[in-house]
């Protein structure tokens, strides 16, 4: 069984990669080892989007960890509008919607709420299926809390 527990500077950990519609609605997520690069994982995750999101001209606010040309090109090829600021040392910076980019912290706040669940934060589960199941459970609980 897979165990996406990797070694990084912070010790053994797992990354949760997420595409969310807004601060309350996750669409798709996946796990990766802590030392895995974000850009390749983001490209794989984008292929798991449901078909009705493609060619819909939806803005896709992307974390700076996913700032590579490949992921931006993939988003454009899927008909999505990538919203991510270029790195400050980029020789050819691109234009982006600064107002939408400021809303990117909504997803960060969502992660903060997920990590309030101790089992998500500490990853007691050694097998990915169990950990992903509890992450899904925490997401469902967050959705239910929003409805109350």
SS3 101: helix
> Which residue, 95, 75, 70, is CA-closest to 85?
95
pLDDT, position 111? 85
On whether the CB atoms of residues 68 and 84 are closer than 8 A, the answer is no
pLDDT, position 63? 79
Cα 26 to Cα 2, 114, 127, 135, 146: the distances in Å are 23, 11, 22, 11, 13
Q: How many CB atoms lie within 10 A of CB 18?
A: 19
Cα 88 to Cα 3, 61, 66, 94, 98: the distances in Å are 36, 18, 15, 11, 15
pLDDT, position 39? 85
pLDDT, position 140? 92
> pTM higher than 0.85 for the full model?
no
What pLDDT tens digit does each residue of the chain (148 aa) get?
Answer: 566 666 666 666 788 888 887 778 888 899 888 788 888 888 898 899 888 888 887 888 887 777 778 888 888 898 888 888 887 788 887 888 888 888 878 888 888 888 899 888 887 777 888 888 999 999 999 888 878 7
């Amino acid at each position: 069984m897979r165990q996406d527990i990797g070694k990084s500077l912070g010790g053994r950990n797992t990354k949760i990669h997420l595409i969310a519609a807004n601060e309350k609605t996750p669409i798709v997520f996946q796990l990766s080892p802590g030392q895995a690069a974000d850009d390749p994982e983001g490209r794989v995750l984008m292929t798991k989007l449901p078909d009705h999101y493609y060619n819909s001209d939806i803005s896709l606010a992307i974390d700076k960890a996913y700032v590579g040309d490949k992921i931006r090109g993939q988003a454009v090829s899927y008909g999505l509008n990538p919203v991510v600021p270029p790195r400050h040392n980029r020789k050819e910076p691109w234009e982006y919607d600064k107002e939408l980019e400021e809303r990117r912290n909504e997803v960060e706040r969502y992660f903060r709420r997920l990590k309030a669940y101790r089992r998500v934060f500490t990853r007691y589960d050694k097998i990915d299926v169990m950990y992903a199941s509890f992450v899904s459970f925490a997401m469902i609980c967050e959705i239910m809390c929003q409805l109350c």
